[in-house]
Amino acid sequence: MKHRLLVTALLVVLLSFLVINVKPALADHGWRAVSVTCTPGSITYTVFYDSSTSTSVDVEIALNGNYYKTIYPNVFGATGNYTFTDVDAAYIAGITVTVYNTSGGAVGGPSSVSANCGGGTCTEPDNRMNSECKNADQSVAVYCDGGTLSFYAIYHGKGTLAFRMTQAELSRFPATPARNILIKQAMGVRLYKLSSGQYQVNRAKQDGSDYWFRWEPSACMS
């Protein structure tokens, strides 16, 4: 009987120790994308890892602004930069590769970085007016369809419709206003009519700086 009581007591102590010392799982936000380079067939990317706030790193990869896959390079130790290479035939010449953290990169700095694969001509992902090949980190995409402008807010390579403007709606504003006019804004997307007669759209990027794109009214007519 005494033996059983002793064993029970030891089990209680052991379980108490485990309960006290088991640490909760940490969220995948203790890292950020630092850089990426691409050559046809492979990418080399660097991430900054904070060992005090993260237990794993789930690296999201987008090709030409569209989600492609997730990589799990969970071989980390102390806080610092870690560099990895990923070989994949999908990394073709001219494509834009984006490495990003879906949880927002809480340790600070940009949570995504992009690079264009060398060795060929970049191919645009769709028929947007603002070239993604020239600005891979653009935060808004502009489309023209029969004179109607559509604006998509981009986050981690994925676009969400912010608003549309028809030619009839745009015609309500002066051709050359005395000052720049804010026409409409939604989801951080801001559309202006400039005193030069041009249109301009702005939206903040993940690093806090403003992305902007400017065009002539004749670029999108019905």
Query: 105-162, pLDDT tens digit by residue?
Result: 444 544 678 888 876 556 677 889 998 777 767 899 999 999 999 999 998 778 999 9
Residue after which a domain boundary falls, among 116, 150, 178: 116
- Give the Cα separation of 172 and 194 in Å (integer): 14
Residue ending a domain, among 83, 116, 149, is 116
Are 146 and 98 members of one domain? no
| Domain residue limits at 189 | 140-219
DSSP secondary structure, 148-165, as one string: EEEEEEEETTEEEEEEEE
Can you give the pLDDT at residue 16? 42
77 three-state secondary structure? coil
Q: What is the CATH number of the domain that holds 97?
A: 2.60.40
Q: Are residues 38 and 111 in the same domain?
A: yes
What is the count of structural domains for the chain?
2
3 state DSSP class of 5:
helix
Do the domain assignments include residue 132? no
Which of 28-32, 115-119, 171-175, 188-192 is predicted with the least confidence, judged by mean pLDDT? 28-32
Residue 168, domain member (yes or no): yes
Domain boundary among 116, 132, 151: 116
